[in-house]
Amino acid sequence: MGADAARGIEQVFRAEHGRLVAGLIRRFGDIDLAEESLGDALVAALQTWPEQGRPPNPGAWLATTAANRAIDRLRRESTRDARHSEAFAMTVNRPDPLLEAGALTEQDGAVTDDRLRLIFTCCHPALAPDARIALTLRLLGGLTAAEIARAFLVPEPTMAQRLTRAKRKIRTAGIPFRVPRAADLPGRIDGVLAVLYLIFNEGYLATVSGAPVEQDPGRDASARDDSGRDESPRDESPRDGSLRDDLCAEAIRLTRVLRTLLPDEPEVTGLLALMLLIRARRPARLRDGVLVPLDEQDRRRWDRAGIGEGHDLVRACLHRNRPGPYQIQAAINAVHTDAATPADTDWAQIVALYDQLRAVHPSPVVELNRAVAVAELDGPAVGLALVEPLALAGYPAWHVTRADLLRRLDQRDEAAAAYDRAIALTGNPAERAFLRRRRAGIDGGAGVGT
Amino acid sequence: MKQYMLSVHHESPAEVATISDEDMQRMFQQVDAFNEEVRQAGAWVFAGGLEGIESATVVDARGGAAVITDGPFAETKEYLGGFWVITAADLDEALEWARKGSAACEGRVEVRPFQGEA
């Protein structure tokens, strides 16, 4: 069989994976069984489709085949603890509040609900954050443990164990396969969005040190571009590099799926817009392995389609008038991407949006990013006065911001010291290279060696 | 249905010692109300608050002859204050009870499933 044919089948499989595994979990009440029988179905597809042609409805073919394989496995494995599976199946088959409320028809509900149930299960607060990310990518994204391991720069056995433990916890603690009840829904949706944003950030910021990316909404909306592709020697292979961007694409894809499943939740739309707008600027963020700040980017390299869609989504959110942190951050990014040149940037509107953001999501990082915008309006001295008192000594962007403001105020020694501190704290080589260049541009002050 | 233990841990004996009688009374009333709610819902299996660690005794018969020691089992300052055993359909239900229990006794609650099925 040709490589193209195999790849084509695997693409279909990946695209359908979430829907298929969710349906199998609902039917059989066992994640491992669902995964294994789906794997069997893929093998069968690779064997029969090239000869017999692709079936008219590949998803249905895979679903039926996988279900048959699952039944076969259950019959063969007579030692499987039937009571235990049954107990989980009981959890699964409880009446679903959404179905009962008629929000989804029985017909659509059977397909739509399952992915929604699965996404809430994978992102359950009782699971560790690492586990939620791994499980979401594995079950909904259809990535293999090896692919997830490579994307997060951990050894494959570590990632495999993380997945095994997560599934075991779901079983033993009795994490149910259901959509949360209405009272819990807002908090649980926030949890899902946080997981998706973590996945996106992992693919986008690609920290070398492996330290978790700070999950603060204010950070990524800053006027300063934080970083681009990870250029460290480990990631020089194009496969790893493209896999990191694949994570961004996967995060966006899953957020789109979530949006079709929860069309009335504006924060889901807000997150999608935010991701699209950030990613649209990616082509302009690096030049020769050095980070290019927002005000120096070649805006012709921005992805216009991504920006167009992001702007449309932001407008849709404004109409809903149920603002939230992701929507506000998306709006901030939209103000930037709306400007033809840096000088056209509507900084007053950005400050106003940060005022909104700090009201719903106060944090020192939001204050920091707001100060950057204020500096553009009222000058670096005013901005610096807002930045200094923030308790962010361990946060590289704080030092970078201080350094930049001090440089603009011609306080060279202090600026040099701040750049040195920022360089010491920054793991990303592209960003480091940028900071060194800025540092070298300052006269006076003995610097850390380039 | 599954069974879960909801256990309340205190940071240290000192933490409990500093609670005023007034606060203690309030917590008792809150816990009583919570217990009644658990019973009404049919989720109650067993629960109780434990006497302080000064009343604890440890028995170790691993070597054959039993060694009896005054004091609690754990070396750490943190110790078990009390617990509820409840039945729940799934973890979400158990967590909802734990939320209410934690608010009632004004402490952190650990939720752990029992092995096997109820």
Q: Residues 6 or more apart from B42 whose CB is under 8 A from it?
A: B87
A180 touches chain B (CB under 8 A): yes
A 24-83 residues with CB < 8 A to B: 83
What the block records as the tokens of A242 is: 């493209």
ipTM of the complex: 0.87
At A79 the pLDDT is: 59
Of A87, A174, A181, the CB nearest to B91: A174
Query: Once rounded to an integer, what is the mean pLDDT over residues B56-82?
Result: 87
CB atoms inside a 10 Å sphere around CB B56:
16
At A305 the pLDDT is: 97
Report strand pairing: B67-70 vs B57-60.
Answer: antiparallel
Write the DSSP assignment of B24-83 as a string of letters. Answer: HHHHHHHHHHHHHHHHHTT-EEEEEEPPPGGG-EEEE-TTSSPEEEES-S-SSS-EEEEE
What the block records as the tokens of A360 is: 């719903």
Whether A332 and A358 have beta carbons less than 8 Å apart is answered as no
A 184-223 residues with CB < 8 A to B: 184
Distance from C-alpha of A416 to C-alpha of A447, rounded to nearest angstrom? 7
How many angstroms away from the CA of B4 is the closest CA of chain A?
Answer: 9
At A75 the pLDDT is: 87
At A233 the pLDDT is: 29
Per-residue pLDDT of chain A (450 residues; tens, 9 = 90+): 577 778 888 888 888 899 999 999 999 999 999 999 999 999 999 999 988 988 999 999 999 999 999 999 988 876 555 555 554 554 554 444 444 333 333 334 434 468 999 999 999 999 999 999 999 999 999 999 999 998 888 999 999 999 999 999 999 999 999 989 888 999 999 999 999 999 999 888 763 323 333 333 333 333 333 333 332 323 333 334 555 778 899 999 999 999 998 999 999 999 999 999 999 998 898 888 888 999 999 999 999 999 999 999 999 999 999 999 999 999 999 999 999 999 999 999 999 999 999 999 999 999 999 999 999 999 999 999 999 999 999 899 999 999 999 999 999 999 999 999 999 998 788 889 999 999 999 865 455 544
Of B89, B113, B117, the CB nearest to A173: B113
Distance from C-alpha of A249 to C-alpha of A226, rounded to nearest angstrom? 19
Helix boundaries (H) for A206-324: 217-220, 238-261, 266-280, 304-320
Q: Which residues of B touch A84 (CB under 8 A)?
A: 117
Nearest to A124 by CA among A170, A171, A182: A170
Give whole-number Cα distances, A185 to A15, A41, A110, B99, in Å: 27, 34, 20, 16
Model-wide pTM > 0.95: no
Please classify residue A184 by burial: count the beta carbons closer than 10 Å to its beta carbon, then call 0-12 exposed, 13-18 middle and 19+ buried. middle
At A243 the pLDDT is: 57
The distance between the two most distant Cα atoms of chain A, rounded to a whole number of Å, is: 78
What are B's interface residues with A at a Cβ cutoff of 8 A?
Answer: 2, 88-92, 94-95, 111-113, 117
At A351 the pLDDT is: 97
Q: Which of A28 and B74 is assigned the larger pLDDT?
A: A28
At B12 the pLDDT is: 81
Length of chain A: 450
